[in-house]
Amino acid sequence: MTGSYRQPGVVLTDRRFTVPLDHDDPAGETIELYAREVVARDRAGQDLPWLVYLQGGPGFGANRFVGRQAWLGRALEEYRVLLLDQRGTGHSTPANRQTLPLRGGPAEQAAHLAHFRADAIVRDCEAVRPEVTGGAPWTVLGQSFGGFCTVTYLSTHPEGLSAALLTGGLPSLDAHADDVYRAAYPRIERKVAAHYARYPQDVERARRIADHLLTHDVVLPNGYRLTAEAFQSLGILLGGADGSHRLHFLLEQAFVRTARGPALSDAFQEEVQGLLSYAGHPLYALVHEAIYGQGSRPTAWAAERVRAEFPQFDAAKALAGDGPLLFTGESVHPWTFDCDPALRPLRETAELLAARTDWPALYDPARLAANEVPVAAAVYHDDMYVDTAHSLATARAVRGLRTCVTDEFEHDGVRAGGPRVLDRLLALARDDV
């Protein structure tokens, strides 16, 4: 533990923990986890229960809040909060193009990354919990992939939990990655249609940009090769509260007149490379489909294969007709590793992960059916990232789980409406409503 410091209304303490890379080999290699403890300044000396936050992703460190932003202010009314950088993310021991070659070649890198899924993250939590809480169970708040981890937690170590709160993060217990994306593409298409209904001028703008990318070789300042397919992946914005507006403002500044004719503006290119680059979160691309892997069936680039079942997403075909260009959403493709300089050295590693056929199970349906931990989940109606039907099926499979199904928020509801969302979840978990 290092020294504490202050922000408006809060006291923060940086904490570091050493855990096994492979929890089945506790005497083997270790890695470091980083977490930030946060407590309200006027309660810093009090003995408070703990809430651990599991961020969405995979591959993102915990939020870097300033003061009592988003849901944190509500949590600090009664908890000490641990903002955990899950293994490989944030300030924990990194896993990226710079560090992974230390493992060896692609085969060794892929074997290493197999330890970066929800099952290992939950065992990390259980390894550090005694040091943090003195052995007492804690409340977990899981956003998106953090919710997936929370369902794994309920499946494997429910004794560590006093309550479980999930937002946009109830996974299917048995869906293959193919099933996930087969449900996702129609949902994404609805989000794109809603965007174009709000901003009809963007139909022509998007077509013009895609046409430019199909006829020009565009490399962004950071070395990212911007193809039409990569441009379409900006549709990931449409899953957030302000994402449609952000996409609109991006498209309206796309072109500038130059001596050689129209060109993509520097401002557009700068913003696009920030949105598309995986340099800050490479695990998102590397293990994204692996988070659905269970059993002997490989994920095998599910998003790419299933996309072929939806030809309306083909940019060239869309431009050959008069229909709108469809954006895509939360998906990773083989070409992602060709476009992004932060991922190119890891393409073979990603191929090996996609071909893996021995993924251990992440969920225990029998144990979930006998669950005794208070559980509440916010399910966002027509969530672009997590299928609502899959979430509700899982909600029915977890004994005692209570849901708040709402279309007031998008997938990032705990950020956009954090105090209200967290307050509702706490009330449901405590049977106060």
Q: What is the pLDDT of residues 76-121, one digit of tens each?
A: 999 999 999 999 999 999 999 999 999 999 999 999 999 999 999 9
Same domain, 303 and 166: no
Nearest to 283 by CA among 80, 121, 417, 50: 121
Residue type present at position 44: A
- 148 in the same domain as 82: yes
> What is the C-alpha R_g of the chain?
22
Any idea what the Cα angle at residue 322 is, between residues 318 and 325, rounded to 5°?
A: 40
Through-space distance between the first and last CA atoms of the chain, rounded to whole angstroms? 39
Same-domain status, 370 and 348: no
Span 204-220, pLDDT tens digits:
999 999 999 999 999 99
Q: Are residues 295 and 405 part of one domain?
A: no
Residues 262 and 375 in one domain: no
Q: Give per-residue burial for 62-71: e unless 16+ CB within 10 Å, then b.
A: bbebeebebb
Q: Is 245 an active-site residue? A: no
**What band does 383 get if pLDDT is binned at 50, 70 and 90?**
very high
Q: Does one domain contain both 169 and 184?
A: no
Could you say which of 172, 233, 411, 412 is catalytic? Answer: 411
| Tokens coding 358 | 């021995």
Q: Evaluate if residue 406 carries a pLDDT over 60.
A: yes
The one-letter amino acid code at 415 reads R
Give the ranges where 263-386 is alpha helix by DSSP (H): 266-276, 282-286, 302-307, 315-320, 336-339, 347-355, 365-369
Mean pLDDT of 133-153: 98
Mean pLDDT of the chain: 97
The confidence score (pLDDT) of residue 3 equals 82
Q: Are 60 and 285 in contact (CB under 8 A)?
A: no
For residues 409 and 292, membership in a common domain is answered with no
pLDDT of residue 47: 96
Question: At 431, which amino acid appears?
Answer: D
Query: Domain boundary at 336, 355, 374, which?
Result: 355
Q: What is the CATH number of the domain that holds 25?
A: 3.40.50.1820
- 170 lies in the same domain as 185: no
The C-alpha atoms of residue 122 and residue 99 are separated, in whole angstroms, by 23
Pair 165, 197 in one domain: no
Q: Report which residue type is found at 236.
A: I
Report the DSSP pairing between strands 161-167 and 375-380. Answer: parallel
DSSP 371: -
Is 216 designated active site? no
Per the structure, how many domains does the chain have? 2
Tokens of 163: 């309550």
- Angle of helix 243-251 relative to helix 177-198, nearest 10 degrees? 60
Looking at the fold, whether 275 and 378 belong to one and the same domain comes out as no
Q: Which of 144, 172, 244, 277 is catalytic?
A: 144
- The range of the structural domain enclosing residue 48 comes to 4-174+363-429
- The domain boundary, picked from 335, 355, 375, lies at 355
Contact at 8 Å (CB) between 273 and 220? Answer: yes
pLDDT for residue 121: 98
Q: Per the structure block, which two tokens stand in for 132? A: 């943090």
Q: Kindly state whether residues 342 and 262 are assigned to the same domain.
A: yes
- Residue 1, pLDDT above cutoff 60: no
Q: Specify whether the CB–CB gap between 62 and 32 falls below 8 A.
A: no
Q: Which residue out of 47, 217, 358, 432 is catalytically annotated?
A: 358
- Measure the CA–CA gap between 146 and 56, rounded to whole angstroms: 5
* Exposure b/e, 138-176, CB count within 10 A at least 16 = b: bbbbbbbbbbbbbbbbbbbebebbbbbbbbbbbbbbebb
- Classify 97 as helix, strand or coil: coil
| DSSP 8-class letter at 326 | P
Instruction: From 329, 355, 381, give the residue that closes a domain.
Output: 355
Share of residues in the chain with pLDDT > 70 (%): 100
In this prediction, residues 373-402 reach a mean pLDDT of: 97
CB 133 within 8 A of CB 50: yes
Give yes or no for a contact between 39 and 11, defined as CB atoms under 8 angstroms apart: yes
323, 392: one domain: no
Q: What is the mean pLDDT of residues 34-51?
A: 97
Secondary structure string (H, E, C) spanning 179-222: HHHHHHHHHHHHHHHHHHHHCCHHHHHHHHHHHHHHHCCEECCC
Q: Is 176 a catalytic residue?
A: no
User: What pLDDT was estimated at residue 418?
Assistant: 76
pLDDT of residue 2: 63
Question: In whole angstroms, what is the distance from residue 228 CA to residue 327 CA?
Answer: 10
Contact of 383 with 413, CB cutoff 8 Å: no
Comparing 61 with 418, which gets the higher pLDDT? 61
